[in-house]
Amino acid sequence: MKSILVIGGGLVGAACALRLQAAGVQVTLIDPGDKRRGASYGNAGHIGSEQVAPWSAWGNVLRAPRSSFGAGGPLDFRWSDVALWTPWSMEFLRACDPVRFERGREALIELLADSLPAWHRIAELAGAPELVIPHGHATAWMTERGAADGLAAFAAAKWGRTTSYREMTSAELARYGDVLNRLPTAAVIFSGTGQVSDPQGARDAILASFAERGGELVVGSVVRVEANARVMLADGSVREADAVLVCAGPWSRALMEQLGVRAPLIGERGYHLQSSETNWPHDLPTTVFEENFIAVSRFTSGLRCTSFVEFGSPDAPGDQRKWRRLRQRIDELGIRFEANPDRWVGSRPSLPDFMPAIGRSERAPKVLYAFGHAHLGLTEAPITAEIIAAIAAEKAPAVDIAPFRIERFG
């Protein structure tokens, strides 16, 4: 393959474009250019190599009533999008089958094992090794009960092959005294995980390197994809190449349907508030406050708090109640935050079995795809890009990609 059109410039598309280019392919990246639109902008920046359990698990189904937004939790469904999430939920329930869950976990263990090294490799390639901060991440509990339940659940869980955790010492816990109104009762710190210095900063650096090496960036939206690797943009212009890569996050669904390929993606929407003023130190790693359902991440651009899993359309407006709830959580913990923080909502691109789709279309072999990374798209973008570069070169990827075939959805 000499040339490829990459559709979608989120973290997955940006990483794939740079990797394909480094492998000698002539790459054109097409994206509408609204950087805040996709989850690549607003995520928690965590390189989550430990998250090997697919979310499609019976335990999560049983916990759903307690996790609901009405009960104070993060889970919600947009009623006006009921026609989207009802069929998706049926497929989700089927994916919770314990045999399928276990197969998914094995596949994610393999994919995630090399995810942090792959981040170092792409940051080096982009000439920005400082993008990756491999200082682990923490989960903290504020109550005795939460700590006891949380630590027991952590001890029973399976984590990644390259990650481990330990309880924080009292000296480590004491550091939270500077940024919270009380100390956590307990917390754990992981190794083998990390964060990026800033999610949008990381995407910008990858795209800048791509452009500097002569990559073509086209601002536009693809409205038509054909199996012969010909695409039409909204302005009526047409582009052709030897192949096309569909990596348009949740919007990949409609593009794949044009090719007769089922990709049952949904928008699993998350929210953030970000304060540019903060006293949270750069070396205090991303911390999940489990009982408060928020993740707190220090980026070069400020302090970001993220939460919620709200199923619906990726194009729907945000729900004001979610930002109010997020603010309430921040204030409960006593985190210093500006009065008018940046508010953002965006969609994780989620397939019913919470595994990404990475491969070459069996129906349309000139079409490659990389979407559906759900909660782990930042983590998995560089390793996905290496897999896509191998597929493009007709070499065997380092990871078995059979579990990620889109044809698993029929």
Binding stretches for ligand FAD (CB under 6 A):
7-13, 30-32, 34, 37-40, 42-46, 48, 221-222, 247-249, 251, 270, 272, 306, 346, 348-349, 371, 373-379
Residue spans of beta strands (DSSP E) within 134-201: 138-141, 164-167, 186-191, 194-196
Contacts of 335 (CB under 8 A, 6+ apart): 179, 180, 280, 296, 303, 305
Min dist. Cβ of residue 382 to ligand FAD (A)? 11
Nearer to ligand FAD, 333 or 376 (CB): 376
Q: Give whichever of 138 and 185 is closer to ligand FAD, judged by the CB atom.
A: 138
Within 204-335, strands assigned E span: 216-219, 222-225, 230-233, 238-240, 243-246, 266-275, 287-289, 294-299, 302-312
- The nearest distance, CB 311 to ligand FAD, in angstroms, is 12
Contacts of 195 (CB under 8 A, 6+ apart): 45, 46, 47, 133, 135, 137, 285, 286, 297
**Distance between CA atoms of 280 and 297, rounded to whole angstroms?**
9
- Complex with ligand FAD: residue 185 or 346, whichever CB lies closer: 346
Which residue number, 325 or 373, has a Cβ lying nearer to ligand FAD? 373
CB of 314 to ligand FAD, least distance (A): 7
Residue (of 83, 71, 69, 74) closest to 44 by Cα position: 74
Which residue, 185 or 312, is less far from ligand FAD as judged by CB?
Answer: 312
- Nearest approach in angstroms of CB 158 to ligand FAD is 18
Task: Identify whether the C-beta of residue 407 lies closer than 8 Å to the C-beta of residue 118.
Answer: no
Q: Judge whether 295 and 305 are in contact, CB under 8 Å.
A: yes
Provide the minimum distance between the beta carbon of 304 and ligand FAD in the complex, in angstroms, as a whole number: 9
11 phi and psi angles, rounded to 5 deg: -60, -35
Rounded to an integer, what distance in angstroms lies between the CA atom of residue 91 and that of residue 188?
A: 34
Shortest approach of ligand FAD to residue 212 CB, angstroms? 20
Residue 43 beta carbon to ligand FAD: minimum distance, rounded to whole angstroms: 3
Any bridge partners for residue 370, and if so which? 358
Distances (CA, A) of 173 to 107, 141, 178: 34, 11, 10
Burial of 91 (0-12, 13-18, 19+ CB in 10 A): middle
Kindly state the smallest distance separating residue 174's Cβ from ligand FAD, in Å: 26
* Closer of 40 and 292 to ligand FAD (Cβ): 40
Are residues 341 and 218 in contact, defined by beta-carbon separation less than 8 angstroms? Answer: no
Residue with Cβ nearer ligand FAD (13 or 403)? 13
Of the two residues 7 and 168, which places its CB atom closer to ligand FAD in the complex?
A: 7
- Choose between 186 and 222: whose C-beta lies nearer to ligand FAD: 222
CA–CA distance, 122 with 18 (Å, rounded to integer): 8
Beta carbon of residue 182, minimum distance to ligand FAD (angstroms, whole number): 25
